[in-house]
Amino acid sequence: MRNRHKFSFIISCAILDMLAMVLGTVLFLEFANEEKIGLSDLLFDKMIPITILSWLFTVSYFQLYKIDVLFNLDYFFQNSWRAFFTQRILWHSYLFVFQDNVLYFFGSKANLIQLSFLFSYFLFSRILFTIVISRIKFWVFKPFTVGIWGFNKTSIELAAHLESNSYFIDFVGIVNENENVEIGSIEKFTEALSEAIHKASESGINELYIVAKPDFINDLNYFFELGDKHCMRLKFVPDFSSISKKHFNSTHLNNFHVIKPRYEPLQNAYNRLAKRVFDLAFSSLVIVFILSWLYPLLAFIIKKQSKGPVLFKQLRTGKKNEPFWCYKFRSMYTDMGDETEQAKRGDSRITPIGKFIRRTSLDEMPQFFNVLMGKMSVVGPRPHMIKHTSDYNGHINNFMVRHFVKPGITGLAQVSGLRGETKRVVDMKRRVTTDIEYVQRWSLIKDLKICILTVVITLKGDKNAF
């Protein structure tokens, strides 16, 4: 039941979604003809193929129809909307290139009807999918039954995970939860587990997760053969709860089981490529359309108000703890003491134009050249001075984790209100915790969200910017 019905459900979703995307494009073309929107023949003939290709690209990137061991409904919904909006961006970008009257096109009846249809489809289809998937288990004559043997912290967490994602399985829980059997030796463990496998088979369990300390397991082949005799799949889950209270991330390297302290999406080469393409595109647009006129304007004012260079460069800690020259528009008078001292509110070292560009974050704009050169990213943990990195590394655990990725012009900590002077170690700890959260939960959508929030906060005025 588990794989067959899951496969049928996913394939049905994929077919319906594709038909909806194509139908939306057909509706657009019909109303575009009525409105006599000036679409070129090249644009008109390629609309449906572009719709199909852009949709296939987005669902592949977000792994929308991934058939995994468990089905996570929240993950499916989130990726559905991510794929939908990304496809719309790609589709409209294609039109933007070939359409002359862009403003008229976006406000056209054809475009509004298409968007309304697709939005309504995704909204109501996901509601329908929720109803179907919540009932599908009860429509099956013989469900796939899964249980857990072993009562400990790890098995309780595993049970919670299986229970919350048991749409295509019948999860019976921890089978020995109410048993009071003390297992203090390998012999008692072998005897207890052998009996449990026999009982589980009689109960009709198809798959049994065995959660136990590695010390108790001396012959996996014996248990696997015993499971095979009962036509039952056995899966062993090592219980490391007595070793550490932290949550590890587990992967495989061929036949080797690898345990890592955390999950890092940017360890994936495709994710790094996507982030680099975003950085190059974003920084190029900023340099061409903003810095091309802002740089000479600010350079003139900075030079007019104080002697010294237009740009201020400082060695800061980058990815892999490697130093790099970080560029900023100079906002302070030259020869004003220790450069490693953080700026304070009302700092006398700051020039008049410096107050403005620091408050509006315009002093950070030259760092887009750092992004273009590959030393920084648009979004990431803010780079610190070499001395501050050395000082804080001795006081804060996991401080260097933030240097596993490229530093950014803006970051999750900055849009979370953790920007500015850090007077206490506890302030830096909060910033580091947020930076590590970004490292562990990176996504391209999160980068876009942080960029938008940065613009909003800058326009509203950040009280920590001075």
Closest CA to 294 of 340, 361, 391: 361
Q: Say if residue 418's pLDDT is above 50.
A: yes
CATH class label, 144-245: alpha beta
Q: Which residue has the higher pLDDT, 388 or 412?
A: 412
Q: Say if residue 39's pLDDT is above 60.
A: no
CA pair distance 381, 29, nearest whole angstrom: 45
Q: Given this model, what pLDDT does residue 1 score? A: 46
Q: Given this model, what pLDDT does residue 246 score? A: 64
Q: Given this model, what pLDDT does residue 6 score? A: 74
CA pair distance 91, 87, nearest whole angstrom: 6
Each residue's pLDDT tens digit, 155-213: 888 888 888 877 778 888 898 877 766 677 888 888 888 999 999 988 889 999 999 88
Each residue's pLDDT tens digit, 239-289: 877 666 566 777 777 777 777 888 899 998 889 999 999 999 999 999 999
Q: Given this model, what pLDDT does residue 187 score? A: 85
The chain-wide mean pLDDT, for the chain, equals: 84
Closest CA to 440 of 410, 398, 409: 398
Cβ(85)–Cβ(62) below 8 Å: no
Confidence of residue 140 (pLDDT cuts 50, 70, 90): low
CA pair distance 414, 436, nearest whole angstrom: 13
For the chain, the structural domain boundaries read 2-138, 144-245, 269-460
Q: How many percent of the chain have pLDDT more than 70?
A: 86
Q: Say if residue 466's pLDDT is above 70.
A: no
Please, what is the angle between helix 220-229 and helix 186-202, to 10°? Answer: 20
Confidence of residue 425 (pLDDT cuts 50, 70, 90): confident
Q: Is the pTM of this model over 0.85?
A: no
Q: What is the mean pLDDT of residues 394-408?
A: 91
Q: Say if residue 115's pLDDT is above 80.
A: yes
Output the 3-class SS for the chain.
CHHHHHHHHHHHHHHHHHHHHHHHHHHHHHHHHHHCCCCCHHHHHCHHHHHHHHHHHHHHHCCCCCCCCCCCHHHHHHHHHHHHHHHHHHHHHHHHHHCCCHHHHHCCHHHHHHHHHHHHHHHHHHHHHHHHHHHHHHHCCCCCEEEEECCCHHHHHHHHHHHHCCCCCEEEEECCCCCCCCCCCHHHHHHHHHHHHHHHHHCCCCEEEEEECHHHCCCHHHHHHHHHHCCCEEEEEECCCCCCCCCCEEEEECCEEEEECCCCHHHCHHHHHHHHHHHHHHHHHHHHHHHHHHHHHHHHHHHHHCCCCCEEEEEEECHHHCEEEEEEECCECCCCCCCCCCCCCCCCCECHHHHHHHHCCHHHCCHHHHHHCCCCEEECCCCCEHHHHHHHHCCCCCHHHHHHCCCEEECHHHHCCCCCCCCCHHHHHHHHHHHHHHHHCCCHHHHHHHHHHHHHHHHHCCCCCC
Q: Given this model, what pLDDT does residue 69 score? A: 58
Q: Given this model, what pLDDT does residue 118 score? A: 93
CA pair distance 421, 457, nearest whole angstrom: 17
Q: Given this model, what pLDDT does residue 149 score? A: 92
Q: Residue 431 contacts by C-beta under 8 Å, 6 or more apart in sequence?
A: 413, 418, 422
In this structure, of 157-171, 312-326, 416-430, the range with the lowest mean pLDDT score is: 416-430
- Output the six-digit token pair for 278: 């975003």
Q: Given this model, what pLDDT does residue 255 score? A: 74
CA pair distance 398, 379, nearest whole angstrom: 20
Cα–chain-centroid distance for residue 5?
29
